[in-house]
């Protein structure tokens, strides 16, 4: 049976970057069936629903989903599509690799993995909105902490680098984080992995100052959201960062960036984050070599100055994508 891949372009720059990611997927997954699912603000404006139960059913019918970005208005009655999908597909692990493609001044490369818990914490959706007082319930469960810690530990072993798991938390203020920290430590010791628990505010600074000290960092939902944007500083900005949202049954790949309405429609959005998300999908399907080839090809282009304006170049979204496919093909010929 051929793979079924759902393609969600979404809003803003989503429809610009996703075709470039799809080109890469079509190149390697020649037998796959691609089908589009329309979701997001534009759909909400047209139909009154940003993501219907039928849409969720369609997504669940896919072997994997590639997703661009959706715009979420700060309206108390509008439910974030992304959060709805993460919740309904139980995509509990948000894997955010922070890998630089350009060398640092000392010749080193940043290479770490943020493992963000993706279904609980401040994203519980349990809120009471009032005019005098509004609250959001921050939920940390033992089971939720355990499964994300297990995912993080398996990545520590797979990556085989410093064999240490860093736990980003804020247990001095948020006592719920002590359950998170202690559960992560318990799981890590059962894997034979050392842990270091660091307060998230100090961690945000230290990863910028000493990125090479880090390998895998596990943290709660909102802290992982913030930390991954912070780490964009190490890699050339948010246009560079991919992610994988993984559950027991479903897998969903998306750039870390949002819909960027300020640059939408101009053809200048950097498609690298979306393309690298596609490469993460290839790796998920066991095509590690092909994923590496995509990463190497992106690095070659960027290091020779072929890039979009956010990185100082003058390529458009689609011209970068076309040049990327050409480099991928050339590398493949050389390897045959």
Q: Of the listed pieces 82-90, 127-135, 220-228, 319-327, which binds Mg ion according to CB under 5 A?
A: 220-228
Catalytic residue selected from 92, 214, 225, 250 = 225
Applying CB under 6 A, the residues found at the interface with ligand IPM are 72, 80, 82-83, 225, 256, 258
Determine, following the binding rule CB under 5 A, whether residue 55 of this chain makes contact with Mg ion: no
Q: Which does 83 bind (CB under 5 to 8 A by kind): Mg ion, ligand IPM, none?
A: ligand IPM
Q: In the complex, what is the shortest distance from the CB of residue 36 to ligand IPM, in angstroms, rounded to a whole number?
A: 21
Judged by beta carbon, residue 41 or residue 82, the one nearer ligand IPM is 82
Residues 192-211, one symbol each (x = binds Mg ion by CB under 5 A, - = not), give --------------------
Instruction: By CB under 5 A, name the one of 225, 254, 295, 315 that touches Mg ion.
Output: 225
Q: Which does 258 bind (CB under 5 to 8 A by kind): Mg ion, ligand IPM, none?
A: ligand IPM
Q: What is the 3-state secondary structure (H, E, C) of 237-302?
A: CHHHCEEEEECCCCEEEEECCCCCCCCCCCCCCCCHHHHHHHHHHHHHCCCHHHHHHHHHHHHHHH
Active site residue 31: no
Total residue count of the chain as it appears in this document: 336
What is the C-alpha to C-alpha distance for residues 122 and 137, in angstroms, rounded to an integer? 6
Q: In the complex, what is the shortest distance from the CB of residue 261 to ligand IPM, in angstroms, rounded to a whole number?
A: 13
167: left (phi over 0), alpha (psi -120 to 50) or beta: beta
Q: Which does 15 bind (CB under 5 to 8 A by kind): Mg ion, ligand IPM, none?
A: none
CA distances for 176 relative to 90, 142, 197, 220, 230, angstroms: 21, 10, 14, 11, 24
What is the C-alpha to C-alpha distance for residues 287 and 32, in angstroms, rounded to an integer? 14
Active site residue 214: no
Judged by beta carbon, residue 69 or residue 301, the one nearer Mg ion is 69
Active site residue 170: yes
Active site residue 201: yes
Active site residue 310: no
What one-character-per-residue DSSP string does 2-22 give?
--EEEEEEESTTHHHHHHHHH
- Active-site amino acid positions: 123, 170, 201, 225, 229
Residues that bind Mg ion (CB under 5 A): 225
């Amino acid at each position: 049976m051929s793979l079924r891949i759902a393609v969600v372009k979404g809003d803003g720059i989503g429809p610009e970057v996703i075709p470039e990611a799809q080109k890469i997927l079509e190149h390697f997954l020649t037998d796959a069936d691609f089908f589009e699912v329309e979701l997001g603000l534009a759909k909400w404006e047209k139909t009154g629903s940003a993501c219907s139960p039928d849409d969720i059913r369609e997504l669940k019918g896919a072997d994997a989903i590639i997703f661009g970005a959706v715009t979420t208005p700060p309206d108390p009655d509008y439910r974030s599509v992304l959060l709805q999908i993460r919740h309904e597909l139980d995509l509990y692990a948000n894997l955010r690799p922070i890998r630089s493609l350009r060398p640092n001044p000392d010749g080193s490369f940043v290479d770490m993995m943020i493992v963000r818990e993706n279904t609980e914490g401040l994203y519980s959706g349990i809120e009471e909105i009032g005019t005098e007082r509004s609250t959001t319930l921050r939920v940390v469960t033992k089971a939720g902490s355990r499964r994300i810690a297990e995912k993080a530990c398996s990545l520590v072993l797979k990556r085989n680098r410093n064999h240490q798991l860093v736990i980003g938390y804020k247990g001095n203020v948020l006592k719920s984080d002590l359950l998170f920290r202690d559960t992560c430590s318990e799981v890590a010791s059962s894997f034979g992995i050392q842990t270091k628990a660091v307060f998230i505010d100090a961690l945000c600074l230290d990863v910028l100052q000493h990125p090479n000290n880090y390998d895998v960092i596990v943290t709660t939902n909102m802290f992982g959201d913030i930390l991954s944007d912070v780490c964009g500083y190490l890699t050339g900005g948010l246009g560079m960062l991919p992610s994988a949202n993984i559950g027991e049954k479903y897998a969903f790949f998306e750039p870390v960036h949002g819909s960027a309405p300020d640059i939408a429609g101009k053809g200048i959005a950097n498609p690298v984050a979306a393309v690298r998300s596609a490469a993460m999908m290839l790796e998920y399907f066991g095509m590690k070599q092909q994923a590496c080839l995509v990463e190497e090809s992106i690095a070659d282009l960027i290091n020779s100055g072929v890039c979009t304006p956010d990185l100082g170049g003058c390529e458009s979204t689609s011209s970068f994508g076309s040049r990327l496919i050409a480099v991928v093909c050339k590398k493949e010929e050389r390897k045959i």
